[in-house]
Amino acid sequence: MVATLPLELKLVDLSAVQTALQARATRRYEDDREHDNRIKIVAFANGKGGVGKSSTSAAFAVAAARQGARVLLVELDPQGNNAEDLGFVRSDIADDGRAQAAAILNSRPLTPTGSPRKNLFVVPGGDALEEITEELYCQRRLASQTGDTTWLGMYAASLEQVYDDYDLIILDVAPGILVLQLQALVAADVVIVPSKSDPSSRKGLRLITRRFGEALQYNDSLVMLGVVLFAAGSSATRVKKGIRDDLKRDLAGTEVPVFETDIRHVEAVAVEARRRGLVPQELLKEKDLDASLRKSAQDLARDYGALTGEVLQAINQLRESLNEAEEMEEASA
């Protein structure tokens, strides 16, 4: 039985979202080869929890910022793990997600609360994101009756308003919240899927692949850049090859690559890095580390360095192939 309640729900007015989405469509259509004003928003997502989304987002963000890119890291997760990973839990940069909620619920720019590293700006996650998810589920319910899908672009609209301010915008996306995942996939230019090799992580990978397909209807230039094998336990080449073959089977029918670089499993470094609010590249420089921990931190930092190189190269290749496609189109016109 379906109950109809005499209830008046006040939802966010989406006219500003519509305007921002139109601006995005125009920007994407415009030929902006000289400025490479596209492929900036990278979402780290997987339908499964604990597969390295936050650790990889933070390490990648710090590495790219160190190379001189102006980076915005947005945590679409009520857990607020970025604050731990980057060590700003007790600073005034941490706001429990309030700035993010205010921006999304008022269709305003996603303005950072601060800059925990040079060139790196953050919009933290936290409990206040519950307000966003509540709104999103209501919007989704309403859309199921009206057929208007504008609500899917609420994050895209707030990100569009800061797009020109950064070289890279990284989204660290919560695993279990469907509406946040969809928002991220509709807002992003590319998606990276960290995955472990166990069956339930691979189920999460298949789930995000399905959601990716759904998001393509609203964001047709979205690209899945690749899968990162996270906390790979064995260093044996044969075992790794088996895992990679499994991942590739899960991605069958798509052309999504598995990145060459695996992030190795070193729990002691991960725990110490998060405890100190440093990414592995920073932890290894700490004076009071014992020798074996320093060695492991160096190895893990090397993995993240290599992964960062691969990701940035893949983004550049994508930009180049878009430019080439446009040139061919122009030549044939």
Which residues bind to Mg ion, rule: CB under 5 A?
Answer: 53-54, 81
Look-up of token digits 């800059």: 115
Amino acid at 115: S
Whether the CB-CB separation of 98 and 75 falls below 8 Å is answered with: no
Q: Which does 188 bind (CB under 5 to 8 A by kind): Mg ion, ligand ATP, none?
A: none
Is residue 38 near ligand ATP by the rule CB under 6 A? no
Residue 66 or 265: the one with the smaller Cβ distance to ligand ATP is 265
Q: Which of 11, 271, 325, 328 binds ligand ATP (CB under 6 A)?
A: 271
Instruction: Report the C-alpha gap between 188 and 44 in whole angstroms.
Output: 10
For ligand ATP, which stretch binds (CB under 6 A), given 18-26, 53-61, 88-96, 304-312?
A: 53-61
Q: Who's near 56: CB < 8 A, 6+ residues apart? A: 44, 192, 194, 228, 230, 263, 304, 307
Instruction: Report the C-alpha gap between 67 and 117 in whole angstroms.
Output: 12
Whether the CB-CB separation of 96 and 287 falls below 8 Å is answered with: no
Minimum Å distance from CB 50 to Mg ion? 8
Q: Who's near 39: CB < 8 A, 6+ residues apart? A: 189, 190, 315, 318, 319, 322
> Considering only residues 250-269, where is the footprint of ligand ATP by CB under 6 A?
263-267
Minimum Å distance from CB 296 to ligand ATP? 9
For the record, the structure tokens of 232 come out as 């790979």
For the record, the structure tokens of 187 come out as 């807002």
Minimum Å distance from CB 48 to ligand ATP? 7
For ligand ATP, which stretch binds (CB under 6 A), given 22-30, 49-57, 104-112, 183-191?
A: 49-57
What is the CB-side half-sphere exposure of residue 217 using CA atoms within 13 A?
8
- Helix, strand or coil, per DSSP, at residue 170: strand
Q: Which does 195 bind (CB under 5 to 8 A by kind): ligand ATP, Mg ion, none?
A: none
Residue 160 or 272: the one with the smaller Cβ distance to ligand ATP is 272
Is residue 189 near ligand ATP by the rule CB under 6 A? no
Site string for ligand ATP, 73-102 (x = CB under 6 A): ----x-x-x---------------------
Site string for ligand ATP, 55-74 (x = CB under 6 A): x-------------------
Residue 159 or 266: the one with the smaller Cβ distance to ligand ATP is 266
Residue 88 or 151: the one with the smaller Cβ distance to ligand ATP is 88
Minimum Å distance from CB 208 to Mg ion? 14
- Helix, strand or coil, per DSSP, at residue 31: coil
To 10 degrees, the CA torsion angle through 280, 286, 290, 291? 70
Minimum Å distance from CB 54 to ligand ATP? 3
Minimum Å distance from CB 71 to ligand ATP? 18
Minimum Å distance from CB 51 to Mg ion? 9
Opening angle at CA 243, ends 190 and 233, nearest 5: 100
Question: To which H or E segment does residue 7 belong?
Answer: none
Minimum Å distance from CB 303 to ligand ATP? 8
Q: Distance between alpha carbon 278 and the CA centroid of its chain, in Å?
A: 19
- Of the candidates 158, 163, 154, which has an alpha carbon nearest to the alpha carbon of residue 32? 163
Whether the CB-CB separation of 172 and 82 falls below 8 Å is answered with: yes
Is residue 52 near ligand ATP by the rule CB under 6 A? yes
Is residue 49 near ligand ATP by the rule CB under 6 A? yes
Is residue 28 near ligand ATP by the rule CB under 6 A? no
Instruction: Report the C-alpha gap between 89 and 87 in whole angstroms.
Output: 6
Residues that bind ligand ATP (CB under 6 A): 49-55, 77, 79, 81, 175, 231, 263-267, 270-271, 274, 300
